[in-house]
Amino acid sequence: MIQRIQTLFLLLGAISAGFLSMNLVGIWEHFAFATAALISLIIIFMYKKRKLQISLSTWLVIPLYITGIAIILFLSKGHYDESKDMTTLSISFFVGLVSTILAIFSIRKDEKTVQESNRLR
């Protein structure tokens, strides 16, 4: 489980989503990123069900992307507290999103390798 690169990508996504969850003011953003962190951790332990991992990770990216767009729109209108460092939050959001997308590609590559080895049997 830990040898696979997608585990590290999903763990990085969970950490960044947890960081975002702790530092955002709005309840909906907090709920969205806390749920994303929890789902990322659940996906890590589903290492024997790669197809389910791919589908859950794909469905995880969609709400993260929408919430990120909402945060960017609120930042541009100045609805967030000025005392918080929004650059760190933005970087954390993009690191989480990119790491989840990289995990999806790695899981697909893993599934392709397993399918090729099954074909050789």
- The more confidently predicted of residues 114 and 78 is 114
| pTM for the predicted model, two decimal places | 0.76
- The more confidently predicted of residues 43 and 20 is 43
Residue 85 placed within a domain: yes
Q: What is the pLDDT of residue 85?
A: 64
Residue among 58, 56, 70 at smallest CA distance from 20: 70
Q: How confident is the model at residue 84 (pLDDT cuts 50, 70, 90)?
A: low
Residue 119 placed within a domain: no
Number of domains in the chain: 1
Sort 111 into a burial class: Cβ within 10 Å, 0-12 / 13-18 / 19+.
Answer: middle
Q: What is the pLDDT of residue 118?
A: 78
pLDDT digits (tens, 9 = 90+) for 34-75: 888 888 888 888 878 888 888 888 888 887 777 777 777 776
Could you tell me the two tokens for 9? Answer: 């990508």
Q: What is the pLDDT of residue 46?
A: 83
Amino acid at 37: A
Residue 120 placed within a domain: no
Residue 78's region, left for phi above 0, alpha for psi from -120 to 50, else beta, is left
Q: What is the pLDDT of residue 2?
A: 47
Residue 118 placed within a domain: no
Query: Which domain range does residue 82 map to?
Result: 5-112
Q: What is the pLDDT of residue 80?
A: 60
Residue 82 placed within a domain: yes
Residue 64 placed within a domain: yes
